[in-house]
Amino acid sequence: MTPAKSLYGRLLVWLSLPLIALGSLLFTQAWRDSRAAADHAFDRLLQAATLSIAEQVQWQDDELWLDLPPAALQMLSGRDQERVFYTLVDDSGRYITGNARLPAYAGSRSPEADTVVYQDVQWLGMTVREGIRPTRLEGWQNRERFTVRVAHTREGRQRLAGDLWWNSLAAILGMGLLSLALLLLAVRAALAPLTRLRHAIRSRHPRSLSPLTLILPGELAELRDVINQLLARMRRVRTNQERFIGDASHQLRTPLAGISARAELALRQDSPEQWHEALSTIQMTSERTGRLATQLLSLTRLDNPEYAPAPERLDLNGHARQALHEHWPAFHQAQVDLGLDSADQPVTVKATPWLLDEALNNLLDNARRYGADRVTVRTLSAPPAIQVEDNGVGIAPAQRRLALRPFHRLYDDPGGSGLGLAIVDSIARHHGARLVLDDSEQGAGLCVTLSFANAAE
Amino acid sequence: MCNAKFCQRRGIRHRVLGRLLALWVLAWSHAAGADEAQTLHLPAADPMSPSRSLAIHAALDMPQATPLIKAFHRHYPQIDVRYRNMSTLELYQGFLRDPQGVDVVISSAMPWQFSLANDGHARALAPKTLDHWPEWAQWRRELVAFTFEPVVMVYHRKLTDVAKPPTNHARLLSLLQEHQDRLRGRVATYDPAESGAGYSYAMEDARLSPRYRELVAALGGVKANLETTTSRMLEGLASGRYWLGYNLLGSYARAFVDRHPQLEYVIPDDYALVVQRLAFIADEAPHPQAAERFMRFLVSRRGQQVIDRDTTLGAVHPAVVDRSAQQRASSHSALRPMELDPQLLAALDRLKRRALLSRWQRAFQQGKASPAIAE
């Protein structure tokens, strides 16, 4: 499991990314602050040096005169042994003395008297910090203006800035690590209910479908409720399945018991006519039992949620006609009138052919058995639908829902299985079609409509 | 003085100043014969592959330099060494004229050497080269002070007839004041106006001693002779013309005094200036690797032993000077090496020089004019 795919990892990544971004921002800000602080501290040295030099400037022999105090130069060069430069210029900017010709202040505003201004300049290929003090003589007669410029290289400033930065770096790093640790704890604590839920689900008995009774925070409580709903549905499904299995075994046991009894009876008799009669009864019963088993099989197959038949486009008219053709002999024998009322144009739907045929078979079979003497198969084009209508006794509205349940028999008929409509209903659901039981238009009788109105095209 | 580089660049704006400069700096050299072009060439052992060579320009006399250079060459016979001794001014101007023509520059003109390094003309040595080297004897790993030369007093035995020889500045002052008449014309010292070395000693003296002005006045009182080199003072002392010399460069005086039994050598015990030769590798040195080797040799135990044993320059290496360092600690805790820091730059300031010299001369003339102070 890669970290990005686990919830824990995702939380960590999305919480620590902003933390890291914030941290880098703090780092750069700390670097700027450290530089500014170092410059501030060292600029005071430039200020002191310019003052110390300016105090020694006098007027002598009609020119500016400087008795350079060596200490003024020394104070600019500390532990880092910075290079030192100084220049004295007069009012017009003419060089008086100095070991360098430092440039004038480059700022737009000319600095005020006795205020030191600073600038970074390039001198002899080195970056130096220059302090410039414009001032004037404090004599009685002569108040000549002059400017003292001193500069030194930046080693000391860089070291101080580096030291300051390292200090704040350590603080920021420490804080970052602390918040990361807290983050880990927080994420772990926040995800703890999820772990509890997982443990609760894992430690359940595999066959248990009882609801979860865990106390969980809001978001997870929702999840728990959804799981509980799913479990409830599974319980219902299981109950249905168990009933179905019970019903099915019951249905199969009854004819088998009949066969067994009839065979036993026949064995006690000696007459071949009686044997013959028993055998034909047994044959009829086992035929019916066989059909019942086939129907159970197809119903089970349809009820299997994994079963996904491949639908194809087909014409309802064609299938109706074929079904009519196949059932006509049986209807004829039972003396039931079977007719087709097909739509003018082809009615195309998307369906699985054999399932559609199975549905029609069941509907026609039912109609033949219970539908008096007149049955009509009808196809409709808008919406696409197929109808089987008879003029029998019909089904009372209250019974119509029950009629769809397996093994629910409305008539006491030994030949019926009680599965026919359940199978049709199942097929309809498979196709997303609607099965409607209604009164026949002729008043009496049943009209079953398989409507593909909402079926996915 | 203004930075000579600029004077040059601007075609020597002040001719008078330029000439002054020349006169002044010429005297930085303490060499007996500074005008003789002195060179030493030690060719590589294998002449077929003269791949590595080394050019050293120095203000360091041949007798002192030769043992050092030879020892180095014994150590690295594959390097072709060319040594050239010249005056400090020649050295300084020559370097600025052609900074690519030399690998190692050695001079006792500390302000000039410092100024060159300050302007970025020196190359930093490898960090491990100076690991063991004292902090006070190096600057930015660019400048290395590798000798230890006290500034001393030398007297002729005749002086003992007059008075007890001075052992420090205070005694010297009282001696000059008490025996003004007997010592008239018998005392010699550097002329700070004419000699660069004399000027920088005067500057240091003025900084270290508040009574230096009195001392200058007393020197004026005995009408001291102002000389330009240590050797001229030593010659005067040896001949008996002078009885007392003040502020002589110890490294030359020591050798000379050893050869002349009539002379004595005194390191003042209140404070004694110490001059150090400064060496650096030119930033644009054509053979930086050989130069680095040479510098490493200079500060190595072996090189410093040669300085200690075969020259009178005085070693710096803590292991080599162990014995004498103990002596220093006991009797000469007053040794004051000129500090390797930007204060040295002040010595090169044109106006500073004028200010200091005018004060010095005023004091000297005052002493000349006024009669002895009766004790």
Find chain A residues with C-beta within 8 A of B119's C-beta. Answer: 83, 99-100, 124
A121's tokens: 């300049």
Asked if A403 contacts A421 with a C-beta cutoff of 8 angstroms, the reply is yes
CA atoms within 13 A on the CB side of A412: 0
Asked if B251 contacts B152 with a C-beta cutoff of 8 angstroms, the reply is no
A104: closest CA of chain B, how far (Å): 18
**Chain centroid, CA B315 distance in Å:** 14
Cα-based distances in Å from B336 to A382, B151, B308, B316:
120, 10, 19, 13
Q: Do A68 and B343 count as a contact with CB atoms less than 8 A apart?
A: no
pLDDT at residue B50, rounded to an integer: 55
A74: closest CA of chain B, how far (Å): 5
Cα-based distances in Å from A15 to A10, A22, A180:
8, 11, 9
Q: What is the DSSP letter of B167?
A: S
* Surface of B (193-212) touching A: CB under 8 A: 207
Question: For the packed helices A272-303 and A420-431, what is the interaxial angle rounded to 10 degrees?
Answer: 20
Long-range contacts at B17-21 (CB < 8 A, ≥ 24 apart): B17/B350, B21/B89
Residues of chain A under the 50 pLDDT cut: 1-3, 456-457
Q: Touching check for B5 and chain A: CB below 8 Å?
A: no
CA B51/CA B273 separation, integer angstroms? 42
**Looking at the partner chain, which of A84, A96, A99 has a beta carbon nearest the beta carbon of B348?**
A99
Question: For the packed helices B212-221 and B169-178, what is the interaxial angle rounded to 10 degrees?
Answer: 30
3 state DSSP class of B154:
strand
pLDDT at residue B5, rounded to an integer: 40
Q: Touching check for B343 and chain A: CB below 8 Å?
A: yes
**SS3 helix, strand, coil % of chain B, rounded to 5?**
45, 15, 35
Q: Which of B219, B236, B216 is nearest to B176 (CA)?
A: B219
Q: Do B351 and A68 count as a contact with CB atoms less than 8 A apart?
A: yes
Burial of A436 (0-12, 13-18, 19+ CB in 10 A): middle
B334-352 exposure pattern, b = at least 16 Cβ within 10 A, e = fewer: bbbbbebbbbbbbbbbbbb
Where do the DSSP E strands lie in A10-105? Answer: 57-60, 63-66, 84-90, 95-98
B231's tokens: 């050797």
Residue B35 has pLDDT above 60, yes or no: no
Asked if B192 contacts B357 with a C-beta cutoff of 8 angstroms, the reply is yes
Q: Which of B232, B282, B332, B337 is nearest to B125 (CA)?
A: B282
**Looking at the partner chain, which of B140, B346, B354 has a beta carbon nearest the beta carbon of A70?**
B346
Question: Which of B349, B358, B362 best tests the A interface by mutation, with the highest count of A CBs <10 A?
Answer: B349
Asked if B178 contacts B326 with a C-beta cutoff of 8 angstroms, the reply is no
Cα-based distances in Å from A98 to A74, A277, B105:
15, 143, 24
CA atoms within 13 A on the CB side of B167: 5
Find chain B residues with C-beta within 8 A of A46's C-beta. Answer: none
3 state DSSP class of A386:
strand
Cα-based distances in Å from B268 to A284, A379, B33, B150, B265:
147, 136, 28, 9, 10
Q: Do B115 and A70 count as a contact with CB atoms less than 8 A apart?
A: no
**Looking at the partner chain, which of A73, A100, A124 has a beta carbon nearest the beta carbon of B346?**
A73
Cα-based distances in Å from B143 to A241, B66, B102:
101, 22, 16
pLDDT at residue A395, rounded to an integer: 82
Q: Do A97 and B140 count as a contact with CB atoms less than 8 A apart?
A: no
CA A388/CA A320 separation, integer angstroms? 10
What residues form DSSP beta bridges with B84? B39, B57
**Looking at the partner chain, which of A65, A66, A84 has a beta carbon nearest the beta carbon of B342?**
A84
Residue B34 has pLDDT above 80, yes or no: no
A45: closest CA of chain B, how far (Å): 14
Q: Which of B83, B80, B81, B82 is nearest to B46 (CA)?
A: B80
B354: closest CA of chain A, how far (Å): 9
pLDDT at residue B110, rounded to an integer: 93
Find chain B residues with C-beta within 8 A of A96's C-beta. Answer: 351
CA atoms within 13 A on the CB side of B102: 24
A286's tokens: 């086992």
List the alpha helices (DSSP H) in A89-207: 155-202
CA B293/CA B76 separation, integer angstroms? 9
Q: Touching check for B118 and chain A: CB below 8 Å?
A: yes
What residues form DSSP beta bridges with B105? B57, B280
Q: What backbone torsions phi and psi does residue B156 show, to the nearest 5 degrees?
A: -90, 150
pLDDT at residue B332, rounded to an integer: 52
**A378 torsion bin: left (phi>0), alpha (psi -120 to 50), beta (else):** beta
Q: Which of A455, A242, A427 is nearest to A348 (CA)?
A: A455
pLDDT at residue A413, rounded to an integer: 64
Chain B's closest residue to A152, CA to CA, is B118
**Looking at the partner chain, which of B119, B140, B355 has a beta carbon nearest the beta carbon of A81?**
B140
Q: Do A99 and B343 count as a contact with CB atoms less than 8 A apart?
A: no
pLDDT at residue B51, rounded to an integer: 64
Question: Which of A62, A85, A97, A122 best tests the B interface by mutation, with the highest count of B CBs <10 A?
Answer: A97
Stated length of chain A:
457
pLDDT at residue A3, rounded to an integer: 43
Find chain A residues with C-beta within 8 A of B3's C-beta. Answer: 98-100
Find chain B residues with C-beta within 8 A of A68's C-beta. Answer: 346, 349, 351-352
CA A96/CA B349 separation, integer angstroms? 10
Find chain A residues with C-beta within 8 A of B350's C-beta. Answer: 97
Question: For the packed helices B250-259 and B230-238, what is the interaxial angle rounded to 10 degrees?
Answer: 20
Q: Which has the higher per-residue pLDDT, A304 or B36?
A: A304
A176: closest CA of chain B, how far (Å): 36
Find chain A residues with C-beta within 8 A of B207's C-beta. Answer: 70
Asked if A201 contacts A231 with a C-beta cutoff of 8 angstroms, the reply is no
Q: Which of B97, B103, B140 is nearest to B118 (CA)?
A: B140
**Cis before residue B192, ω within 30 degrees of 0?**
no
Question: Which of A45, A56, A65, A67 best tests the B interface by mutation, with the highest count of B CBs <10 A?
Answer: A67
Question: Which of A45, A53, A68, A89 best tests the B interface by mutation, with the highest count of B CBs <10 A?
Answer: A68
pLDDT bin (cut points 50, 70, 90) of residue B24 is: very low
CA B357/CA B145 separation, integer angstroms? 27
Find chain A residues with C-beta within 8 A of B349's C-beta. Answer: 66, 68, 97-99
DSSP per-residue string spanning A82-139:
--EEEEEEETT--EEEESS-PPPP-SSSPPPTT--EEEEEEETTEEEEEEEEEEE---
B2's tokens: 């203004």
CA-based R_g, chain B, Å: 21
Amino acid at B62: M
pLDDT at residue A255, rounded to an integer: 83
Structural domains in chain B plus CATH codes: 4-148+276-332 (3.40.190.10), 149-273+351-369 (3.40.190.10)
pLDDT at residue B356, rounded to an integer: 92
3 state DSSP class of A59:
strand
pLDDT at residue A254, rounded to an integer: 82
CA A451/CA A379 separation, integer angstroms? 10
B64: closest CA of chain A, how far (Å): 31
A411's tokens: 């008539």
pLDDT digits (tens, 9 = 90+) for A376-402: 888 888 888 888 888 887 788 888 888
**Looking at the partner chain, which of B3, B341, B355 has a beta carbon nearest the beta carbon of A99?**
B3
Asked if B319 contacts B301 with a C-beta cutoff of 8 angstroms, the reply is yes
pLDDT at residue A149, rounded to an integer: 95
A101's tokens: 């010709």
DSSP per-residue string spanning A322-340:
HHHHHHHHHHHHHT-EEEE
CA A217/CA A192 separation, integer angstroms? 10
Find chain A residues with C-beta within 8 A of B354's C-beta. Answer: 65
Find chain A residues with C-beta within 8 A of B118's C-beta. Answer: 83-85, 99
pLDDT at residue B305, rounded to an integer: 92
A186: closest CA of chain B, how far (Å): 50
pLDDT at residue A425, rounded to an integer: 86
Q: What is the DSSP letter of B270?
A: S
Residues near A35 by beta carbon (within 8 Å), at least 6 away in sequence: A157, A161
CA A396/CA B292 separation, integer angstroms? 117
A75: closest CA of chain B, how far (Å): 9
pLDDT at residue B20, rounded to an integer: 45
Q: What backbone torsions phi and psi does residue B295 show, to the nearest 5 degrees?
A: -65, -40
Find chain B residues with C-beta within 8 A of A84's C-beta. Answer: 118, 342, 345
Chain A's closest residue to B350, CA to CA, is A97
* Interface predicted TM-score (ipTM) of this complex, two decimals: 0.84
Find chain A residues with C-beta within 8 A of B342's C-beta. Answer: 70, 73-74, 76-77, 83-84
Residue A448, H or E segment: strand A446-451
CA B27/CA B31 separation, integer angstroms? 9
Residue B55, H or E segment: strand B53-58
CA A389/CA A428 separation, integer angstroms? 17
Find chain B residues with C-beta within 8 A of A98's C-beta. Answer: 2-3, 349
**Looking at the partner chain, which of A65, A68, A125 has a beta carbon nearest the beta carbon of B120?**
A125
CA A233/CA A236 separation, integer angstroms? 5
Chain B's closest residue to A126, CA to CA, is B120
Find chain B residues with C-beta within 8 A of A126's C-beta. Answer: 120
Question: Which of A57, A65, A83 best tests the B interface by mutation, with the highest count of B CBs <10 A?
Answer: A83
pLDDT at residue B44, rounded to an integer: 84
Residues near A62 by beta carbon (within 8 Å), at least 6 away in sequence: none
**Looking at the partner chain, which of B139, B345, B351 has a beta carbon nearest the beta carbon of A99?**
B345
Chain A's closest residue to B352, CA to CA, is A67
CA A126/CA A337 separation, integer angstroms? 116
pLDDT at residue A407, rounded to an integer: 75
pLDDT at residue B58, rounded to an integer: 93
What residues form DSSP beta bridges with B272? B335
pLDDT digits (tens, 9 = 90+) for B152-197: 999 999 999 988 999 999 999 999 999 999 999 999 999 999 888 8
pLDDT at residue A439, rounded to an integer: 82
A406-A412-A417-A423 Cα dihedral, nearest 10 degrees: -40
Amino acid at B355: A
Mean pLDDT, residues B261-265: 92
